[in-house]
């Protein structure tokens, strides 16, 4: 069975995890060990165009106008195969993605990339999937992509199988005064992949069982903070959760860290600002780059301080973003 050549473009935004996802129960289906909660960001996103074309003899895959191969290509083809299976077609696809976010540098380009791919590919194949189904589909390319289907504050329910592992929106964040300042310390690809790092932490960190308990507690606290618009509770819990996640990498065998010297310096600067009544909190994903949570009243001061330290081109302010859009 074939499909009409229909070109669809979808946009998905990156997200930052406020309660981190770190470790899988199932590597193939990408079922996480715990739930997680994130905030979708407006200014970091991926646009992906997909067309299924009878004239193709293989999938054509490009990111930022460059062909992709190896592991990256296999992950994209996995999602395309799932779409083909759902749509009952065997046609190859042309996929072209443009990232408006540094890839693999702790800014979750895979989240926006696979969410956009799931949306564009499924619609190009003639499917009309619900957001829940899109979340399940995106998850199988990249776990955090399950959350990028939605805007605002999002919870990924870990579940135990494909049916029960998906994300839902907690709050659109449209009525929140919350800003995020990304501090770009390093734009290059990270050396330690998240997949491998998670596996090492789950298998070798003696603290991993306690991490599950930490997450369970933090999920309740952050959900309460979101429901009550308690910025300080949200920020302080997010910062502590991030530091405890990174403690897992330091307690793995072999021990490693995503932080570099500048990461630690800037984390100390966040604490210093807070001690001087600038309301801000830091979170760090799998990379050296930092995201600072703050509110409108402190935004300009935070931008000024960090621009002086790392250059204005490496300080990017953003706000809560939306879910999947079709362009």
Instruction: Check which CATH number belongs to the domain holding 23 and give it.
Output: 3.30.230.10
Decide if pLDDT at 4 tops 80: no
Q: Report yes or no on 188 lying in a domain.
A: yes
Please give the tally of structural domains in the chain. Answer: 2
pTM of the model: 0.94
Looking at the structure, tell me whether residues 168 and 185 fall in a common domain. no
Full domain range(s) for residue 98: 8-175
Looking at the structure, tell me whether residues 51 and 72 fall in a common domain. yes
Q: Report yes or no on 200 lying in a domain.
A: yes
Tens of pLDDT, residues 242-280: 999 999 999 999 999 999 999 999 999 999 999 999 999
- Which residues have C-beta within 8 Å of that of residue 262, sequence separation ≥ 6? 185, 288, 310
Q: Report yes or no on 2 lying in a domain.
A: no
Tens of pLDDT, residues 183-214: 998 766 666 788 889 999 999 999 999 999 99
Looking at the structure, tell me whether residues 184 and 170 fall in a common domain. no
The CATH number linked to 201 is 3.30.70.890
Among the candidates 175, 202, 217, a domain finishes at 175
Looking at the structure, tell me whether residues 41 and 160 fall in a common domain. yes
Looking at the structure, tell me whether residues 120 and 188 fall in a common domain. no
Dihedral in degrees, nearest 10, Cα atoms 216, 175, 295, 39: 40
Among the candidates 135, 159, 175, a domain finishes at 175
Looking at the structure, tell me whether residues 110 and 194 fall in a common domain. no
Q: Report yes or no on 1 lying in a domain.
A: no
Instruction: Give me the pLDDT at residue 69, please.
Output: 85
Tens of pLDDT, residues 64-98: 999 998 888 999 999 999 999 999 999 999 999 99
3-state SS string over 246-287? HHHHHCCCCCCCCCCHHHHHHHHHHHHHHHCCCCEEEECCCC
Least confident of 150-154, 155-159, 192-196, 310-314: 192-196
Least confident of 35-39, 303-307, 312-316: 312-316
Task: Give the span between the Cα atoms of 83 and 81, in whole angstroms.
Answer: 5
- Which residues have C-beta within 8 Å of that of residue 259, sequence separation ≥ 6? 246, 284, 288
Instruction: Give me the pLDDT at residue 108, please.
Output: 57
Cβ atoms of 189 and 103 within 8 Å: the answer is yes
Q: Report yes or no on 327 lying in a domain.
A: no
Among the candidates 175, 192, 224, a domain finishes at 175
- Which residues have C-beta within 8 Å of that of residue 189, sequence separation ≥ 6? 103, 104, 105
Task: Give the span between the Cα atoms of 146 and 168, in whole angstroms.
Answer: 9
Please state, as a whole number, how many other Cβ atoms lie within 10 Å of the Cβ of residue 129: 18
Instruction: Give me the pLDDT at residue 62, please.
Output: 94
Decide if pLDDT at 156 tops 90: yes
Looking at the structure, tell me whether residues 28 and 132 fall in a common domain. yes
Q: Report yes or no on 155 lying in a domain.
A: yes
Looking at the structure, tell me whether residues 303 and 166 fall in a common domain. no
Q: What is the mean pLDDT of the chain?
A: 93
Looking at the structure, tell me whether residues 115 and 216 fall in a common domain. no
Cβ atoms of 16 and 283 within 8 Å: the answer is yes
Looking at the structure, tell me whether residues 217 and 270 fall in a common domain. yes
């Amino acid at each position: 069975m074939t499909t009409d050549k229909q070109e669809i473009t979808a946009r998905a935004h990156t997200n930052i995890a406020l309660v981190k996802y770190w470790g899988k129960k199932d590597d193939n289906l990408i079922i996480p060990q715990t739930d997680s909660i994130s905030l979708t960001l407006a200014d970091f996103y991926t646009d992906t165009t997909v067309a299924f074309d009878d004239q193709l003899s293989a999938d054509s895959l490009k990111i930022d106008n460059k062909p992709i191969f190896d592991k990256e290509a296999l992950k994209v083809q996995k999602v395309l195969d799932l779409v083909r299976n759902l749509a009952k077609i065997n046609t190859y696809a042309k996929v072209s993605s443009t990232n408006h976010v540094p890839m693999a540098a702790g800014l979750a380009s895979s989240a926006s990339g696979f969410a956009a791919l799931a949306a564009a590919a499924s619609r190009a194949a003639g499917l009309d999937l619900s957001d829940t189904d899109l979340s399940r589909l995106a998850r199988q390319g990249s776990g955090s992509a399950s959350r990028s289907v939605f805007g605002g504050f999002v919870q990924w329910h870990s579940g135990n199988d494909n049916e029960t592992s998906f994300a839902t929106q907690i709050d659109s964040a449209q009525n929140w005064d919350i800003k995020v300042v990304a501090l770009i310390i390093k734009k290059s690809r990270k050396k330690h992949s998240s997949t491998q790092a998670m596996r090492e932490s789950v298998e070798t960190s003696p603290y991993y069982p306690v991490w599950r308990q930490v997450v369970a507690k933090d999920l309740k606290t952050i959900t309460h903070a979101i429901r009550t618009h308690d910025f300080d509770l949200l920020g302080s819990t997010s910062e502590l959760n991030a530091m405890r996640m990174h403690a897992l990498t330091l307690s793995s065998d072999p021990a490693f860290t995503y932080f570099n010297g500048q990461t630690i310096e800037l984390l100390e600067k966040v604490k210093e600002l807070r001690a001087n009544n600038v309301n801000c909190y830091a979170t760090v994903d799998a990379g050296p780059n930092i995201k600072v949570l703050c509110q409108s009243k402190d935004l300009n001061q935070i931008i000024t301080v960090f621009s002086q330290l790392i250059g204005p081109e490496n300080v990017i302010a953003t706000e809560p973003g939306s879910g999947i859009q079709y362009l």
